[in-house]
Structure 1
Amino acid sequence: MAQRPASAAVLVLHGGRETGTGPPPSGPLNLPGTRMLPFVRAVSRATRASGDEVLVRQVRYAHRGWNGARADPLHDAVAALDVLREEAGEELPVVLLGHSMGARAALRAAGHPLVRGVVGLAPWCPPGDPVTQLAGRDIVLVHSNRDRMTSPQATQSLTARARRAGARSCMVTVRGGDHAMIRRAAAWHRLTTALVTGLLGSGSLPGPVGAALALPPTAEPTEGTLDLDADLGPGPFQDRTGAAR
């Protein structure tokens, strides 16, 4: 039986370093890449269960770091999107799923014609990064309030700037989480899967997220910021405790 053509795709971009021109290690030694495997598996299971033919691929980096103006992972992301366009055509909707440096690359690559949305986990959002490329896209950023590697305040600021630039954007705070997404791991996985499949149309987007994405450009940053426990729970996105730790 011939395989049905893909109806959508998810590109997964793992984290990295601020600087580092050497290639990432391979296999399990690439810890940032390994960290995203549970997300890859969860999204793949969910899209299969929906009956949709969704490609889920991890982007391979040529270099470990962002490396200043070189923005190396951005070019890797764009190259992966161009490959998808060659394989599946101009109409393939793509959601970018990135963590930390990978989320920064996803946000910067969101102007590519295939991209419909970005889900950024613990994103690295420097204040001067552009947002005009996010116009017309759905942007959901998820950040722990205890993150010590990247700034949740910077994420909230970028969410508001993106909305003013024409994006549909919001932020979800995971109380008691951490940058590596190990604390409250199950909640991170379930929420991320719901966001990705919801943006693709393979599942239902959480109601409060949909409402936040519909806010007008003039909305205050706090209006577009949701709390996982207070606004989305209790429910399927909770871990076993159902509360911040």
Structure 2
Amino acid sequence: MDAPGEPVAHLRDATVAILHGRGDRWVPAALSAEFAHRARAAGARVARFTVAGGHSMLRRAPVWHTFARDVVLAGAGLAPMRSDLGAALDRPAPEGLAVPLS
């Protein structure tokens, strides 16, 4: 999600989980929000979570790694889906696209 207008058509019928730092200086959180809205409009099931601070992979590494691990394991059928992810996927926009993650 580095550029406005990044393609989303290939995500039709896919489940997409996004985690973004609200204060990210490299990629503004507004870009992932815009991407999430467009992906939903294209037919994807999308949940977008935000974390406090800057770049979530750097500033909140344990939270980011745990989230990524949980999503990958659930996607591979090796673990149940996180309850917060399931709830966010079922929420309408904008609620399901701006879920705070602590």
TM-score surpassing 0.5?
yes
AA matched with 1:197: L
In 1, the alpha carbon distance for the partners of 2:54 and 2:78 equals 27
Given that 1:172 and 1:226 are in contact with CA atoms closer than 8 Å, whether structure 2 keeps it comes out as: yes
- The one of 64, 67, 71 equivalent to 1:191 is 67
Shift of 1:156: 0.9
Q: Deviations over 1:192-237 (max 9, x none)?
A: 101111122211221121122234xxx32343221112xxxxxxxx
How many residues in Structure 1 have an aligned counterpart in Structure 2? 102
Higher fraction of helix: 2
Secondary structure of the residue that 2:63 maps to in structure 1?
Answer: helix
Name the structure 1 match of 2:82.
Answer: 206
- The one of 224, 235, 245 equivalent to 2:97 is 224
Matches within 5 A, 1:113-128: 123-124=1-2, 126-128=3-5
- How does the TM-score come out when normalised to structure 2? 0.86
In 1, the alpha carbon distance for the partners of 2:11 and 2:25 equals 26
AA matched with 1:209: L
Indicate whether 1:165 and 2:42 are aligned: yes
Q: Tell which structure's C-alpha radius of gyration is larger.
A: 1
Q: Structure 1 223/190 Cα, relative in aligned 2: closer, same or farther at 3 Å?
A: closer
Q: Deviations over 1:53-87 (max 9, x none)?
A: xxxxxxxxxxxxxxxxxxxxxxxxxxxxxxxxxxx
Name the structure 2 match of 1:147.
Answer: 24
Q: Give the superposed CA RMSD.
A: 1.7
Given that 1:156 and 1:221 are in contact with CA atoms closer than 8 Å, whether structure 2 keeps it comes out as: no
Shift of 1:152: 0.8
Q: Deviations over 1:131-177 (max 9, x none)?
A: 11110101111110111011211101111111111100011111124
Question: Looking at both structures, which has the greater relative contact order when contacts are Cα pairs under 8 Å and sequence separation is at least 6?
Answer: 2
Structure 2 unmatched runs, 5+: none
Name the structure 1 match of 2:53.
Answer: 176
In 1, the alpha carbon distance for the partners of 2:75 and 2:98 equals 18
AA matched with 1:212: A
Q: Structure 1 177/193 Cα, relative in aligned 2: closer, same or farther at 3 Å?
A: farther
AA matched with 2:41: R
Matches within 5 A, 1:1-245: 123-124=1-2, 126-178=3-55, 181-215=57-91, 219-229=92-102
In 1, the alpha carbon distance for the partners of 2:44 and 2:59 equals 30
AA matched with 1:198: A
Identity %: 32
Secondary structure of the residue that 1:182 maps to in structure 2?
Answer: helix
In 1, the alpha carbon distance for the partners of 2:95 and 2:43 equals 18
Q: Structure 1 157/221 Cα, relative in aligned 2: closer, same or farther at 3 Å?
A: farther
